Amino acid sequence: MSEILSELPPIEEVYDPNSEAYSIDPTPQCLELAKRGRLVWYAPWQAWIMTRMLDIMACWKAEYLSSDFYDWEFAPPRPPKDQWSNFERAFIGHSLVADHDHHRLVRRVTAPAFSRHVVDAIQRRIEPDVQKLFDELGEPDSFDYLEKIAQEIPFISITRTIGVPEKYWPDIKQVILTFTETWNPTISDERRESARQDSNRAIEILKDVIAERRLAPEQDDFLSVLLKVEEENEGFEEWDIITLVLALIGAGSDTTLVAQQWSVYALLKNRDQIGAAMESADSFSNAFSEIMRWSTNSKMGFARYAPQDMQILDQAVSKGQMVLMMPHLKDHDPGYYDDPETFDAKRVFNPDVLFGYGPRFCIGAALAKRQLYLTISELFKRFPNIELAEEPERDTGDHNAVTFKRLMLNTNI
C-alpha cells in the first residue's frame, strides 16, 4: 500500500472541494481522496479525513470522538460556567453536545415527537404556507426556484414545525439564517460571534414562546409534543427543549436549502424517474437518498474532534485535531454501488446512512424529507411540464456543499 501511495501525487494537488472542477464533477476528486487510505491528513483544513463507510459507521456507533466544537484545537477558549450566556448553556450544557447517557435519554423520551402521526400533523400545518408561496408565484413563463421557493421554505418549515407564532417570525428569522455559523470552523471569529449573538436573541424568544405555550399546550406542533414529554419524564427539562429546537434550526436551515435545489435539479435531469420518486411520501423518502447520492454535493462531511492523543485507523491523531467523516466519498464508487452513474429512484440503501447512523442518527430525518416532498410535489402539480431553463452555474462559496447561484426553470404553461 505504501508503494502505491508514494506513486500518487500529493492529495492537495488533486483534491480541492472549493474548486470549480469539484463543483462541476466531484467524483474524480472524491475517488482520488479515497485512494489515499482509511484516514488521510489534509493540510489545507488541518484535519484528518475518514474515507471508508464501515469505519465511519463504527465511529458513529462507538462515539469515540467528540462532537463538542470546543474540543477542537483551533476553537476559541471554552468559557467558564459562571460566564455562560444562553448560547453556552444550550451548546455546552445540554443535548446538542450532551454526554452520551443524557443524549440517549433525550432520544428515547422524545421519540413520540417524531412519530408518523406528528409528521402528518406538521405537514398539514406547512401545506397552506407552501400553497400560498406558489399562489404568490403565479404562472410565470420562467422563474428562479432558489429565489422564489427554495430560500423561503426553510424559514416556513422550521417556524411552523416548531410552532413559533407569526408575531415572532421577524425576530427569529436571522438565527435560522446564521445558526450553523456558530460552529463553522472555516469562518472568522467576528462572523462566528455575530451568529452567537443571533442565537442568544433567538433563545430569549424561544423561552417566551415556551412560556406562552405552557398556557395553551395542546397544538399540533413539535413544541406541544415536547412540553408533554417534559411533563412525563424526569431528567428532561426546558433547556433540553431549547437545544432540540436549536438542533432543528441547525439541521433545517442551510441543509434544507441545499436539499431543495438538488432535488429539483436531479429530478429534472432524470425525468423518467419523477413518477417513481413522487409516487408517495414513502417513495420520495427513498428517492431523496438517491438524489443526494447522485448529486454528491457535500464538501466537508461530519466534523469530530480527538478528545485525547489516540491511534485511529493506524494513524497517530493528536488531542484536539479535527476528524472529518466523509460518507459521500463512496457515492460514485463502483466498488460500493452498482452502476453509480445511473440515477435510480428505487435504488436500495442498506443501510441508509444519509442522515447518520447509530446513536447520533438525525432524529428529525422524517420531518426533513416530508417537507421536501410537500414542496416538490406542489411544484410538479402546478407545473407538470416544467424543465430546466439552463444548466445552473455552480456557487463555490458555500463551506459545506456545492450549491447553485440560481436555478432557472421554464414552466411551459
Q: What is the pLDDT of residues 366-376, one digit of tens each?
A: 777 888 899 99
Q: Is pLDDT above 70 for 95?
A: no
Q: What is the pLDDT, as a whole number, of residue 252?
A: 65
What pLDDT digit, counting tens, does each position of 266-304 carry?
999 999 999 999 999 999 999 999 999 999 999 888 889
CB 339 within 8 A of CB 94: no
Return the top range by mean pLDDT from 219-228, 281-290, 351-360: 281-290
Q: How far apart are CA 378 and CA 272, in angstroms?
A: 18
Instruction: Assign 94 a pLDDT band (cuts: 50, 70, 90).
Output: low
Number of structural domains (the chain) is: 1
Q: What is the pLDDT, as a whole number, of residue 4?
A: 54
Q: How far apart are CA 398 and CA 413, in angstroms?
A: 34
Beta-carbon neighbour count of residue 193 at 10 Å?
13
**Paired strand residues for 39:** 50
To which residue does cell 447522485 refer?
Answer: 294
CB 30 within 8 A of CB 296: yes
Q: Is pLDDT above 60 for 313?
A: yes
Tell me the percentage of the chain whose pLDDT exceeds 70: 92
Q: How far apart are CA 314 and CA 58, in angstroms?
A: 15
CATH number at residue 223: 1.10.630.10
CB 376 within 8 A of CB 276: no
108-324-46 Cα angle (round to 5): 140
Instruction: Assign 5 a pLDDT band (cuts: 50, 70, 90).
Output: low
Alpha helices for 138-188 (secondary structure H): 145, 153-162, 169-178
Q: How far apart are CA 103 and CA 94, in angstroms?
A: 9
Question: Among 177-181, 233-237, 388-392, 393-397, whose mean pLDDT is lowest?
Answer: 177-181
Q: How far apart are CA 223 and CA 163, in angstroms?
A: 6
To which residue does cell 450544557 refer?
Answer: 93
What pLDDT digit, counting tens, does each position of 125-140 carry?
889 999 999 999 999 9
Average pLDDT, the chain: 87
Q: How far apart are CA 70 and CA 64, in angstroms?
A: 16
CB 398 within 8 A of CB 183: no
Give the long-range contacts of residues 336-342, CB within 8 A, separation 24 or more: 336/53, 337/293, 340/293
**Paired strand residues for 49:** 40, 324
Q: Which domain holds residue 138?
A: 2-410
